[in-house]
Amino acid sequence: MKTINNIVIVGFGSIAQALLPLLTENYSANIIIFDKETNDIQKSIAKEFSITLKRKLITSDNFCEILTPLLSNTSFLLNLAVSVSSIALIDLAQRLDALYLDTCIEPWEYASHNDHCFISNHSLREQLKDYTRTKASTTTALVAHGANPGFISILLKKAMLEMATINKLTDRPITRTDWAELANRLELQVIQISERDTQVTSRVREHNNFMCTWSVDGLITECLQPAEMGWGTHEETIPNGAKINRYSLEMLEQGREVIVKSWSPNYLEFSAYLLTHNESLSIAEYLTLGDPTNPTYRPTVYYAYHPCDQAVESIQLLKEGSENPIQSKEIMKEDIVSGIDELGIFLISKKYKSFWLGSNLSIGKARKMANHNSATSLQVVSSIVAGMKWAELHPDSGVLESESLDWHYIYEFAERYWQPIVKQETDWQPNLSSDSLSFQNFRITPQH
């Protein structure tokens, strides 16, 4: 087990700010944070928790010089910034024997300077896998481990076991193949990461102002990236213009352009954006049986997200396919007056009733649990700290995604921050006139 005396954080947006209450509760380490901008709110929060905040943009040219003196075998490096390369920081941390965690696999640049097309998450993930196979050391680096991606993969395993028990299956999986075989026995054809955020402020959104409850830059990036999902073996029709990348499918449209049907216990049926996320790809690959190039079983997996209403309004600013119309950006946090972030895993079976397991966390409870948090941020930061604690206990485990972690340990740490955790069976189907669970029955065709 490692002893952590020094925590270095790149990025001081809403998630890093929300992390500090839990971080200082669980660690007595020295904390230093780098961000490209430091406003009065950031300075006030840094002072409240007695951490060092430095105004410095971390780039491909300076990251090594700036971070190297701060990293050692008693350090933990957290990458919580957009467009700060995960591979570059993992490589540096491992060379210095420091632990590492991020909540999303990041590049230095998302957009190509030639055609302004945003890089896909499949490409980012495959680049990291190539690095892991050829250059990575054994020092633990957890990638894409926030709420989702991250804790949602922990909930997946718990949900599968709950669903198996309800349907009198006695499987108790241990290996990756065991989990894939259980998914197959449950006849899971679709796995949705289902999220409906109803948090709201009392203020009216100003024209050309982009608002959301987590990272504005992160949400904009996901809206402009290609819509992607894990592609199941039951699918027969490839969406127009889409291409299959082994275990995943990349659509012609951006995420903001693809609307799907989803369901949650509180909101019931709702429409959602199909945004690209790492867990859609990692879960699909994790639950694959047979030859990966010609599998016998794989579910379709994707993230169905309806953000808060003010964020939905803001996304309309991207209707031309770029963020040029946006004049200001704002994180909804202290001024949220009501609402919940309903986030869970939704298992949709060909044979059994579908099963939803997830959080019904309200803004009121989130604030009681930790200052500077919304319901959205607390789900993320509790998973971050759980992952950090696991990494301390397993410091030589190499580069890992959330599916490879001890789900019991992560769940037991984060559960109280996600409560109430709701589980529910349902007969809901995307199309009552058809029992097909193909993607085309979930997709909503826009009305012109």
The CA distance from 46 to 29, in Å, is 14
Helix (H) or strand (E) holding 413: helix 407-418
- The share of the chain scoring above pLDDT 70, in percent, equals 98
Q: What CATH number corresponds to the domain at position 129?
A: 3.40.50.720
What's the pLDDT tens digit per position in 379-416?
A: 999 999 999 999 999 999 999 999 999 999 999 999 99
What's the pLDDT tens digit per position in 128-166?
A: 999 999 998 999 999 999 999 999 999 999 999 999 999
Is 408 a member of any domain?
Answer: no
The CA distance from 107 to 113, in Å, is 14
Among the listed residues 96, 2, 49, the one whose alpha carbon sits nearest the alpha carbon of residue 32: 49
Residues 6+ apart with CB under 8 A from 372: 17, 18, 20, 21, 45, 333, 334
Shared domain check, 425 and 357: yes
Is 267 a member of any domain?
Answer: yes
What are the tokens at 339?
């609402």
Inform me whether the pLDDT recorded for 116 exceeds 60.
no
Number of domains comprising the chain: 2
Is 380 a member of any domain?
Answer: no
What are the tokens at 101?
């965690």
Average of pLDDT values for 112-126?
81
- The share of the chain scoring above pLDDT 90, in percent, equals 94
Shared domain check, 79 and 187: no
Shared domain check, 259 and 227: yes
Average of pLDDT values for 2-31?
97
Domain that includes residue 12, residue range: 6-142
Shared domain check, 184 and 136: no
The CA distance from 255 to 29, in Å, is 39
Q: Angle at which helices 151-166 and 278-286 pack, to 10 degrees? A: 40
pLDDT at 402: 98
Question: At 234, is the secondary structure helix, strand, or coil?
Answer: coil
Is 296 a member of any domain?
Answer: yes
**Average model confidence (pLDDT) across the chain:** 96
Shared domain check, 79 and 41: yes
The CA distance from 317 to 400, in Å, is 36
Q: Which amino acid is at 299?
A: P
Cβ 186 vs Cβ 347: under 8 Å = yes
Shared domain check, 274 and 218: yes
∠ Cα 386 391 395 (to 5°):
170
Among the listed residues 360, 338, 447, the one whose alpha carbon sits nearest the alpha carbon of residue 155: 360
Buried b or exposed e, range 375-391, using 16+ CB within 10 angstroms: bbbbbbbbbbbbbbbbb
The CA distance from 422 to 417, in Å, is 13
pLDDT-based confidence at residue 222 (cuts at 50, 70, 90): very high
Shared domain check, 254 and 111: no
Is 213 a member of any domain?
Answer: yes
What are the tokens at 321?
């396919």
What are the tokens at 404?
């490879």
Shared domain check, 133 and 178: no
Residue found under tokens 């490692």: 2
- Of the listed ranges 241-250, 302-311, 407-416, 431-440, the one predicted with least confidence: 431-440
Inform me whether the pLDDT recorded for 85 exceeds 80.
yes
Shared domain check, 422 and 283: yes
Residue found under tokens 């993992």: 90
Of the candidates 124, 142, 160, which is a domain's last residue? Answer: 142
State the CB neighbour count (10 A cutoff) for residue 273: 24
Average of pLDDT values for 177-186?
98
Shared domain check, 137 and 156: no
Is 235 a member of any domain?
Answer: yes
Shared domain check, 366 and 255: yes
Shared domain check, 130 and 99: yes
Burial class (CB in 10 A: 0-12, 13-18, 19+), 372: buried
pLDDT at 447: 60
Burial class (CB in 10 A: 0-12, 13-18, 19+), 25: exposed
Inform me whether the pLDDT recorded for 448 exceeds 60.
no
Helix (H) or strand (E) holding 30: strand 30-35
Longest dimension (CA), the chain: 63
What's the pLDDT tens digit per position in 93-111?
A: 999 999 999 999 999 999 7
Average of pLDDT values for 230-258?
97
- Within 13 Å and on the Cβ side, how many CA atoms surround 226? 21
Tally the residues of the chain: 448
Q: What CATH number corresponds to the domain at position 258?
A: 3.30.360.30
What are the tokens at 193?
């990461």
What's the pLDDT tens digit per position in 328-386?
A: 999 999 999 999 999 999 999 999 999 999 999 999 999 999 999 999 999 999 999 99
Is 136 a member of any domain?
Answer: yes
Beta bridge mates, 261 = 271
Q: How far apart are the first and last CA of the chain?
A: 59
DSSP percent split of the chain into helix, strand, coil, nearest 5:
35, 30, 40
